[in-house]
Amino acid sequence: MKLQAIHERFEELSAKTLASGRVQEMARFVQHGDTSTLDHTTAVARLALTMARGLRLRIDEASLVRGAILHDYFLYDWHDHEHAPDRWHGFTHPGHALRNAEADFDDLTPVERDVIVRHMFPFHPLPPRTKEGWVVCMADKACTVREFFRGLRKG
């Protein structure tokens, strides 16, 4: 029942973003193993909302979900060294994602910017400044580990 409510809330909050800008282009890029960047960002957004509800956090759920969907909106295959913008993907991709998000969404909120640009903490030295940023940062790590092991099992 509770999970169903979270599922419905996620569908409600994510639908517009998933149909906007170049979001569907993320389906073309591999994130880890056989997981596309779109599958990854959608999973992170869904888990982040579930965690926030489970912890009963008072947060901006709309910004949490949109920020999470856009947190890896860098729009290239980071395994393809010829076409990636640089060789420092791990460090630079939050900045690329933010630039693309700003180009495609003219009403990006400060919370969404924080979610996007700080999600690589602690690999980036600057921690998130918002609760939403922290939740997505942790959901991203959990999904990345799950996707990595799923890829190993199939590979």
Query: Phi and psi of 36, rounded to 5°?
Result: -80, 165
Q: Which residues 97-136 are close enough to bind Fe ion by CB under 5 A?
A: none
- 72 interacts with Fe ion by CB under 5 A: yes
Cβ distance 94 to 136 under 8 Å? no
Q: Kindly tell me which of 72 and 114 has the beta carbon lying closer to Fe ion.
A: 72
Which x/- pattern over 17-56 shows residues binding Fe ion (rule: CB under 5 A)? ----------------------------------------
Give least dist CB 130 to Fe ion, A: 17
* Cβ distance to Fe ion smaller for residue 4 or 123: 123
Q: Least Å distance between CB 101 and Fe ion?
A: 13
**Cβ pair 31, 39 in contact under 8 A:** yes
| Three-state helix/strand/coil letters over 4-52 | HHHHHHHHHHHHHHHCCCCHHHHHHCEEECCEEHHHHHHHHHHHHHHHH
Task: Verify binding: residue 147, Fe ion, rule CB under 5 A.
Answer: no
Q: By CB under 5 A, which span of 6-14, 50-58, 77-85, 137-145 interacts with Fe ion?
A: 137-145
List, in sequence order, every residue forming a beta bridge with 36; answer none if it has no partner: 30
**Segment interacting with Fe ion (CB under 5 A) among 4-12, 19-27, 66-74, 125-133:** 66-74
Whichever of 20 and 144 has its CB closer to Fe ion, that residue is 144
Give CA–CA dist 38/133, Å, rounded: 19
Task: Say if residues 109 and 132 touch (Cβ distance below 8 Å).
Answer: no
Query: How many residues touch Fe ion (CB under 5 A)?
Result: 2
Residue 28's φ and ψ, nearest 5 degrees, are: -85, -15
61 is a site residue for Fe ion (CB under 5 A):
no
Contacts with Fe ion by CB under 5 A lie at 72, 140
